[in-house]
Amino acid sequence: MDESEVALPAKRVFPPLYVSTGDASIDRLAFFHVLERLKRGSRCIAWHDSLTRVSDSISDHMYRMAILAMCTCVMMAVVHDLAEAQVGDITPREGISKQEKQRLEAEAMHNFVHDMLHGSLAALRIEALWNASLASLKMAQFKADALRRNTRRGETNEARFVKASEYETAHGLDLQPFFDSSLPYLRHPEVKRWGEDLAQTRSRSH
């Protein structure tokens, strides 16, 4: 089947936002329970036809991002996808506009911070970091490198070149197109150095 003929996924149904009980201790515990969704929610991965069922949890993705960003923007990396606990990983194939995605995620963060965590100092810190992750040019550049987006198929995967290397090793595949679409476009100096190191290691093993 031609890729242009692939049917769009069913329209996403989002869970309702949490309604505050007015009791800060109960609402805070509810927020902690919502974090469980980060383990169960998956991110879209479609590296190869044989890997369409392979996926990472949102928490897998967030942890790797935090480690990769350790020396630059670790605190922002920890919270940058927190809204996905409510809305999941929204991909371009779903037909949801960028503006609507931003609205849904902002609504989710407001719900977490003000309805579940009652605007506590820690909650406001999380909100500030999340907003900073959206506005920071440094984070934007890092994410542009570490989360190369394949707009043709609509998946977003952290450290595209690192994961391609892992899939080659684990599944005996040649994923050269994924290296071609990521390594030449790295801009962040540290991430670019990682890419160069990986390319050298990969060339020795082929």
pLDDT tens column, 96-143: 888 899 899 999 999 999 999 999 999 999 999 898 888 764 555 565
Closest CA to 33 of 87, 112, 107, 128: 112
pLDDT tens column, 148-196: 444 333 333 335 677 777 778 777 888 887 788 777 777 767 777 777 8
- Residue with more model confidence, 90 or 1: 90
pTM (2 decimals)? 0.49
Mean pLDDT, rounded, for 12-22: 90
Asked if 104 and 111 touch (Cβ cutoff 8 Å), the reply is: no
Residue 20 has pLDDT above 70, yes or no: yes
pLDDT tens column, 142-152: 655 555 444 33
Structural domains present in the chain:
22-205 (1.10.3210.10)
Average pLDDT, the chain: 75
Asked if 45 and 155 touch (Cβ cutoff 8 Å), the reply is: yes
In this predicted structure, what is the pLDDT of residue 104?
A: 95
